[in-house]
Amino acid sequence: MRTHPKSTSLFTKSLFLMLLVVVMGISGCSSRNYSSTSSARSNPAASGGAAPIAETGDKTLTVAISADAGIDQLDAGAYKGSMNVHAMIYDGLVEYGEKGEILPSLAESWDISEDGKSYTFHLRQGVKFSDGTEFNADAVKFSFERWIKDPANSLNVATAMESLVVVDEHTITLNFNKAYYPFLTELSFARPVRMISPSAVEPAGDINGTFVKAVGTGAWMAESYTTDQEAVLVRNPNYWGEMPKLSKIIMKVIPDPQSRVLALQSGDVELAGGQLGKIPIESVPVIEADSSLSLQIAPGTNSHFMIFNYHTPALQDLNIRKAINLAMNKKSIVNDLMNGIGQEAKGLFPLTVPYVTESNHTWYGYDKQEAKELLAAAGYKDSDGDGIAEKGGIPLELNFVLQQAEYPEWKSISELIQSELREIGIAVNLQVLEPNAYYDALWTSKAYDLILYRTYDDAYNPHAFLLSLFHQTPEAPAVVWSDAELEAQIDTAVGSTDLQERQNAYDSIFSRMYEEAMFAAIYFPDELLAVNQRVTGFKPGHTTYSPIYWNQLDILK
């Protein structure tokens, strides 16, 4: 069947229940700009028109990034280097749009077989790589064959691929051994699925050749690079889409969050934040008070939540899990601890995630009295007056693990939760670990009763996160919560080629999670970026690896 790209959207327009927020223009004073997002990139070439080459002049933007861009390792078929720069230099066959809508990129359209196992892509014609070499079906085959057989690669688009067939110069078919609806979603990832020129390796065109330099079809290409200092990108003169308004982007490495804010204030950088390098919540008032800066806030696609260890005897009781959920004042977490930025969590994923709707987007509210009643129903009561409930003489005491190196806000959130759980009779011991020890506790040792974690972002939700954390593997049981009924529902969702069947499966998944209180939802963070007022055309992207529509940015002289 011929599938028009728009018809492959993960939701029909009636299901696009995004919370729309107002885009406030950049003015001469500081402001919070609640920016909405669009499901299609501005790209005349994508609709058949010629790509305009604007008279943009020499316009340079300096951006703060938290870590080295790794330009010398930026192989499209590998996982090294900055994902953000990957997505600027390399294009994929498709692009991830608003709430998971799959949009055309290097493929103008595609056909999906009735059994969901074959995808035929019709490639955009007249496209060249940044070095002038031709983009065609052979280049696509070359790009895929360099990485799909790597045993370390766990993407289904790689492990399930049986063959790549070049039909003609501008048509290629990918054949898989199973039906799996997120194939297209995985093809939108920043890596390793994007297209690289056969001339980027030595010997040229050898799928086993050594990576030499980043050569893609994207709007940007590398001009210079200094390890741990900066990467300089310039416009790709051969770009097939709308030519960027900027001529150059300097990505300056500033590891410390507070130093990034100071660099913004001094004018050393003109843009920072989001996945490029987080802006501390406590710096928001400083940015808002600076007339040279504008704070941009966009709805995020991840959530932060509490995992229960299902091997802990007390947490095997549904009443206890419900009580913990009900005891947490999630509105207070957002309003008092997060400066009002973000939303209280209502389920595992926010509404920005595919298949999450108003009707299946629900969770436990805040009711301390009901929480106490549930503890009593589970047989726990404070018999000695110390404020901690006991059962059979054993106090209800839980170890709560977290880290703050990556998420400094988790410390204050955990302290508030600790206080609130004590109010209903649960003693909580906080354990702040270094990242390595934290991830060992999460994935290996299971040395926790409660642990803070976060979901993945954008294109990895909901399917990839559910498979990774709520589904058993051949080697291990589910990480978050082991439940055979839930795993069967996840299998149904990812294997269905029917949109309504998938939606029904996800409805069942979210309902099952709620009924069994499989975790404790906490909050949905927003993405924060700060922009100098000289920068115009700012528009947030739909993914962490494309956080900004770079091609639309301009800078006032």
Whole-angstrom distance, CA of residue 238 vs CA of residue 419: 59
**Whether 223 contacts 532, CB under 8 Å:** no
pLDDT the model gives residue 451: 98
CA torsion 394-432-456-511 (nearest 10°) is 20
In DSSP terms, which residues pair with 120 in a beta bridge?
111, 173
pTM of the model: 0.82
Look at residues 87, 78, 70 and name the one whose alpha carbon lies nearest to residue 545: 87
Counting other chains too, the contacts that 276-282 makes at CB distance below 8 Å and 24 or more residues apart are 276/63, 276/64, 276/65, 276/66, 276/84, 276/529, 276/547, 277/64, 277/65, 277/66, 277/67, 278/66, 278/528, 279/528, 279/529, 279/530, 280/408, 281/338, 281/339, 281/341, 281/409, 281/528, 282/339
Look at residues 383, 88, 372 and name the one whose alpha carbon lies nearest to residue 244: 88
Extract the tokens encoding 176. Answer: 């898989």
Q: What SS3 string covers 62-74?
A: EEEECCCCCHHHC
pLDDT the model gives residue 131: 97
**Whether 242 contacts 46, CB under 8 Å:** no
Extract the tokens encoding 75. Answer: 């192989």
Pairing, β 394-395 against β 343-344: unpaired
Extract the tokens encoding 107. Answer: 């493929």
**Whether 61 contacts 553, CB under 8 Å:** yes
Whole-angstrom distance, CA of residue 410 vs CA of residue 435: 13
What SS3 class is residue 454? strand
**Whether 441 contacts 451, CB under 8 Å:** yes
Peptide bond into 313 cis (omega under 30): no
pLDDT the model gives residue 57: 64
Distances (CA, A) of 506 to 14, 355, 498, 509: 17, 7, 12, 5
Whole-angstrom distance, CA of residue 31 vs CA of residue 73: 38
- Strands (DSSP E) contained in 75-128 are 94-96, 102-104, 107-112, 118-123
pLDDT the model gives residue 430: 98
**Whether 534 contacts 555, CB under 8 Å:** yes
Whole-angstrom distance, CA of residue 241 vs CA of residue 53: 9
pLDDT the model gives residue 153: 84
Whole-angstrom distance, CA of residue 551 vs CA of residue 557: 17
Task: Give per-10-residue mean pLDDT for the chain (557 aa).
Answer: 37 32 32 32 36 61 96 95 96 95 97 96 98 98 94 89 97 97 96 97 96 97 97 98 97 95 97 92 94 94 97 98 98 93 95 96 96 98 95 96 91 97 98 96 97 95 96 92 97 94 98 98 95 96 93 93
